[in-house]
Amino acid sequence: QVRLMESGGGSVQPGESLRLSCEVSGGISSGRCMGWFRRVPGKEREAVAAFVTGGASIYYGAGVQGRFTLSGNGIYLQMRDLTPEDTGMYYCAYDSRKAPSFAGIDCRHDTMYSYWGRGTQVTVSS
């Protein structure tokens, strides 16, 4: 049984940075989809970053490209130049089934994930 727990959220001002962490227990396998998602007020849950475990291809959502970076095999999500539009609940997710390909973009759909953390809140305001 895979368990995920996010941490690192908080309240910051525009332009500041945060690093989110995803603690994984239960073991994950190579070749599976893993990602970070967020639900911002008034919008559906969207992919922030997604990748295939053990692979090199990372998908970043259009709104975060150039500002958000995955590291530590996807465990860490470094967020910089935060704006109020980044406010929301952030989740890490993992799917135990074999990924459709080794392209991170194919892991961007939230409906394909079977394990989710409870989320960590990020609030950006002045």
Q: List, for residues 17-37, the tens digit of each pLDDT value.
A: 999 999 999 988 999 999 999
Task: Quote the pLDDT of residue 1.
Answer: 87
Task: Quote the pLDDT of residue 41.
Answer: 87
Helix or strand run (H / E) with residue 100: none
Q: Answer whether 120's CB lies under 8 Å from 20's CB.
A: yes
**Among candidates 58, 69, 47, which has minimal Cα distance to 113?**
47
Residue 123 CA to residue 98 CA, distance in Å, equals 34
Cα angle, residue 19 at apex, residues 114 and 81 outer, rounded to 5°: 115
Task: Quote the pLDDT of residue 76.
Answer: 96
Task: Quote the pLDDT of residue 23.
Answer: 95
User: Length of the chain in residues, anyone?
Assistant: 126
Task: Quote the pLDDT of residue 21.
Answer: 98
